Structure 1
Amino acid sequence: MRLSTGMIYDQQMQGIQSANSSWLKAGNEMTTGNRVNKPSDDPVAAAQAVVVSQAQAETSQYDTARIFATQSQSTEETTLKQVADVIISAQTTIVAAANGTLSDADRSSYATQLEGVRAQLLNLANSTDGNGRYTFAGYQSDKAPFTTDASGNTTYTGGTVPITQKVDSSRTLVTNHTGKQVFDNLTSSATKEPDGKDGESNIFSILDTAIKSLKEPLSGADQSKIDLESANIAKTNRGLSNALNNVSSVRSEIGTNLQELSNLDSKSGDTTLNLKTQMNSLIGVDTAEAISSYTMQQAALKASYTVFQQMSKLSLFSLNS
């Protein structure tokens, strides 16, 4: 078989191009740290890597969701701690106001204190988060959840459904309770009224009863009037106790949620590490092997250039001389 100069040239060029391609591929693997940089490098591994990548994206999405859920629950817990402190303060005032020897001026002074307590609770009930959304308004977080009418009655007008967040593939948690659940609700263990009926659930109405009662002058009043106002103070005391128990119940649920979010974060950390390891086994490259391959391919490319240079100097005339 005759070998023409053109044929020899083409073969040498193909050798150089092949060596150069292998060298560039090795360099790309070393730079990216990946053995598979495009589907054609390893179709099977590339297909499996897509599935793992989707799992990584989903895990990251839930990680972000838990961050927001934790922030919301922490904000609510901070607010409810203040609410509990204010209710306890109101209880202390009510106990003092129950003293039957108080003058009308003293009673009026306690009523003023309770009005201040009521204003604090209303401010907390209509509090907002750092983004201007009302914490206890449910999904109607763009407007204050508690409104007061012309008669001074405060009622809940916010959303009826608490805000929830999917924090894992199979878990959804409440991230914000409604004001109805916190400030206008009774637990199953709530103390009933002497007649066996449920007590007042609206904490603002509970305080209104005491405020109105303490503003009633008892100087010179008959015993039935005194007994009536004393009963109103006792009713308020029961109502505040029930309200505090309800707030404590919500706080307990929040504490459980925060613990679960922490556990899910730990689980996610393990999942993230496993997925990263799996991805690396599919498309990752051994660093030492990549450097060795790069060095070898570089040497092969230099050898190809050397051979090409030597062969290009040859011709049929030089071989016959």
Structure 2
Amino acid sequence: MRVSSVTMYEQSISSMNRQQNDFLKVSQQIASGRRVVNPSDDPQAASRAVGVDQARAVTQQFADSRVSARNSLAQTESVLNSVSDAITSAKTLMVQASSDTLSDADRESVASELRGIYETVIGQANATDGNGRHLFGGYQDSSEPFVRSDNGIQYEGDANTREQRIDASRLMKVSENGESIFNSVPSGAGYVAEADSGNGGNITFSGPQVIDNDNADYGESFRIEFTSESQYQVQRFNPATEDWDVQATADYDDQSGVVEIGGLRMELKGEAVNGDTIEFSPADEMNTNLFRSFEKALAVLENPTENDSDKAALRNTLNTVMREFDNSLDNVLTKRASVGARLNELDVVDSVGGNRMLNYEQTLSDLVDLDYAEAIGDYILRQVGLQASQKAFADMKGMSLFNYL
């Protein structure tokens, strides 16, 4: 077989090109830090790497979502903390205002301080997050959820709660609606009593106290109605007829009396007139509006007490408002505890998501990342091979029969 000069040149160039391609491939791997630079380098590993990379991207998206959820919950928790402090301060003022030693001017001073707390609570109820959305408006978060009207502060939001997916299997509430915070009481809040604003006597009450919550009538609504100065009826509300049924009639003498019904105990004191009424019902059936509680307290504190009837109305209203404040505070603390629990859950989910990300990173590294020690050795080997191929070509092209003629 005759080997022509053209064949020798073609074989030599082909060998140099092959050696140079191998050398450049290793150079690209070292430069990129990846063993699989192109899918053709390892199709199976490249295919698996795409799936792992997608899963990692989804996990990172959930991590970003948890950051947003944590910010929202942290803001909600901060506002609820401020509201609970405000209610505690208002309760302190109620105790101060209940003192018989205070004059009308003193009570007006207390009312002025209470109004400042009231305005603070309204501001907190209309708080916004960093994006201008109102925290407690539900889905109606573009405008203030609590607005002033002739009937007091009205809730204009909805009963929905914004949710955010923080993991593939977890959809978390990241806010609370204002209805559940400022217009609600916790379950099991007990009873609240309230004297009718039109009472003409100076009858006052204390209670109700629970003495038997296993009583068959416990949980019903009751009313004490005076039919004369010396006699009253104990009535129970009948939901079927939406009217009050008389349960008992009792005499009221010595300007004091004790009423026990439905596992509850009420103590009465003072002089009554015909038609005076006191209603006591489960807290969730009475006033549950925190702002209304403030308004009732302000109304009696800002008006002078001119007679015994006014003093009785003041004492009864303050007793009622203090119990309503207690229920509102319990409700706010319950909501705050719920928000805190969700913040703790985010920490747990973050930990799980972090471990998952590490697993994805390790798997992806095993599939496509480069072993630098092996690659550098291969790089040197390919470099030597390329140099040898170039040297052989250079030596061979100088060989010619004409040199021997």
CA distance in 2, matches of 1:152, 1:97: 25
1:239 counterpart = 2:324: yes
Letter in 2 for 1:80: L
1:294 counterpart = 2:293: no
User: Does the residue aligned with 2:144 lie in a helix, a strand or coil?
Assistant: coil
After superposition, what is the alpha-carbon deviation per residue over 1:170-225, rounded to whole angstroms, capped at 9, x for unaligned? 11111111111221111102232132232321110011111112223223x13x44
Task: Give every structure 1 segment of 4 or more consecutive aligned residues whose post-TM-superposition deviation is greater than 2 Å.
Answer: 196-199, 224-229, 315-318
Name 1:172's counterpart in structure 2.
Answer: 171
Name 2:99's counterpart in structure 1.
Answer: 99
Q: Is the 8 A contact 1:138 1:178 kept in 2?
A: yes
Q: Is the 8 A contact 2:161 2:173 kept in 1?
A: yes
CA distance in 1, matches of 2:135, 2:79: 9
Following TM superposition, by how much is the alpha carbon of 1:41 offset from its aligned partner in structure 2, in angstroms? Answer: 0.7
CA distance in 1, matches of 2:401, 2:44: 50
CA distance in 2, matches of 1:316, 1:49: 57
CA distance in 2, matches of 1:260, 1:41: 43
CA distance in 1, matches of 2:124, 2:64: 28
User: Does the residue aligned with 2:164 lie in a helix, a strand or coil?
Assistant: strand
Letter in 1 for 2:169: S
TM-score, scaled to structure 1: 0.95
Name 1:218's counterpart in structure 2.
Answer: 305
User: Does the residue aligned with 2:281 lie in a helix, a strand or coil?
Assistant: coil
Letter in 2 for 1:177: E
CA distance in 2, matches of 1:274, 1:18: 38
CA distance in 2, matches of 1:8, 1:191: 103
What's the Cα RMSD here? 1.4
User: Does the residue aligned with 1:45 lie in a helix, a strand or coil?
Assistant: helix
Following TM superposition, by how much is the alpha carbon of 1:79 offset from its aligned partner in structure 2, in angstroms? Answer: 1.2
Q: Is the 8 A contact 1:111 1:214 kept in 2?
A: yes
User: Does the residue aligned with 2:191 lie in a helix, a strand or coil?
Assistant: coil
- Write out aligned runs for 1:170-209 (5 A): 170-194=169-193, 195-198=280-283, 199-209=286-296
Letter in 2 for 1:117: I
Following TM superposition, by how much is the alpha carbon of 1:39 offset from its aligned partner in structure 2, in angstroms? Answer: 1.0
Greater shift after overlay, 134-143 or 166-175?
A: 134-143
| Unaligned stretches of 5+ residues in structure 1 | none
Name 1:136's counterpart in structure 2.
Answer: 136
| Unaligned stretches of 5+ residues in structure 2 | 194-279
Percent identity between matched residues is 35
Following TM superposition, by how much is the alpha carbon of 1:316 offset from its aligned partner in structure 2, in angstroms? Answer: 4.1
Following TM superposition, by how much is the alpha carbon of 1:152 offset from its aligned partner in structure 2, in angstroms? Answer: 5.5
1:305 to 390, 400, 403: 390
CA distance in 1, matches of 2:13, 2:180: 80
- Write out aligned runs for 1:151-166 (5 A): 151=150, 153-166=152-165
User: Does the residue aligned with 1:314 lie in a helix, a strand or coil?
Assistant: coil
Greater shift after overlay, 194-203 or 91-100?
A: 194-203
Which has the larger strand fraction?
2
User: Does the residue aligned with 2:174 lie in a helix, a strand or coil?
Assistant: strand
1:263 to 348, 369, 378: 348
Q: Is the 8 A contact 1:191 1:238 kept in 2?
A: no
Name 2:274's counterpart in structure 1.
Answer: none
Letter in 1 for 2:397: S
Name 2:335's counterpart in structure 1.
Answer: 250
CA distance in 2, matches of 1:193, 1:4: 113
Q: Is the 8 A contact 2:190 2:282 kept in 1?
A: no
User: Does the residue aligned with 2:18 lie in a helix, a strand or coil?
Assistant: helix
Following TM superposition, by how much is the alpha carbon of 1:110 offset from its aligned partner in structure 2, in angstroms? Answer: 1.8
Following TM superposition, by how much is the alpha carbon of 1:254 offset from its aligned partner in structure 2, in angstroms? Answer: 1.1
1:76 counterpart = 2:76: yes
Name 2:57's counterpart in structure 1.
Answer: 57
The aligned length equals 317
CA distance in 2, matches of 1:83, 1:145: 16
CA distance in 1, matches of 2:356, 2:186: 39
CA distance in 2, matches of 1:68, 1:24: 45
CA distance in 2, matches of 1:152, 1:85: 26
User: Does the residue aligned with 2:99 lie in a helix, a strand or coil?
Assistant: coil
Name 1:145's counterpart in structure 2.
Answer: 145
TM-score, scaled to structure 2: 0.76
